[in-house]
Chain A
């Protein structure tokens, strides 16, 4: 649910990072927070458990500059990945305008990735939304583990598991090192703003 404030000439959009537990959603936000300057970023808010797992959500507000005289303000949210937090994930998805699905390249997380994507589809349906309508992109995280002895999934395996239906753009990332983090953010921001703008810019915003 984007908020378009014609009085202040601001557009507020909500982008949610979704994915299984420990796939690196919060790490994405932390890297963005640390890399951006104070003028472009707001205060990062995290609600986590004692063991540093996200309990409710993380929030990072960003100011992405102006388009057509409108200030673009984006709020990045993460969801708690653990299966038991289904209800909280659904709450965070309320009013979503764009999605990043962060998949884990670890071989042991193969099932968890698919389970999380199915959970996303189910939760979106409860708001009468689908991934065909809402902009979504995929990020295959932990690509830095590929050359190590730790068993990982290949890009092709992940494409078959997760992208055969979505058929969307994929970014390989290593969020701890910042690889692919801003590429992902740039693409989803672009698609989300386009999605919101095509609904409103041509009509109400021109006035």
Chain B
């Protein structure tokens, strides 16, 4: 697992991509984290109210734990990781090998739209980070 060095250009480009694809679709908060639980980028209007450090650490741990469950039952990985709440829900998606995209959205946004947009975003983020390394 190599260290991740983030340049200003990559970070800014990634944030613009997240804003355009997910935040403008009505999603509350988007966190891009690494597998060690570090926050790479945070977007959305609820970022100030949330404990980002704890959220990132728990999200990475949660993702790691479910990946292990997948392996125990003979799967490589679960393609969909989603927690439904009364008001807000959380969607997790792996981007390349080291990054995880955590999307928090309310009732007004459908899971289908989130999945579609996340899949779209995953490709562009992967490309942005790929060019950086």
Contacts and interface: CB of A to CB of B under 8 A. Distances in A.
Contacts of B11: 5, 7
Given A43-B53, A59-B57, A75 B37 contact: yes
Nearest to A203: B5
Interface stretch (A86-94, A140-148, A182-190): A86-94
Given A87-B68, A127-B1, A95 B6 contact: no
Indicate the size class of the contact surface on chain B: 20 to 34
Contacts of A59: 37, 53-54, 57
Contact of B2 (A1, A6, A96): A1
Interface stretch (B19-27, B58-66, B74-82, B121-129): B58-66
A200 B3 CA distance: 9
A3 B98 CA distance: 12
A95 B8 contact: no
B3 A94 contact: no
Given A43-B54, A59-B57, A61-B53, A4 B34 contact: no
Interface of B: 1-8, 11-12, 34-38, 40, 51, 53-54, 57-58, 60-61, 64-65, 68, 98
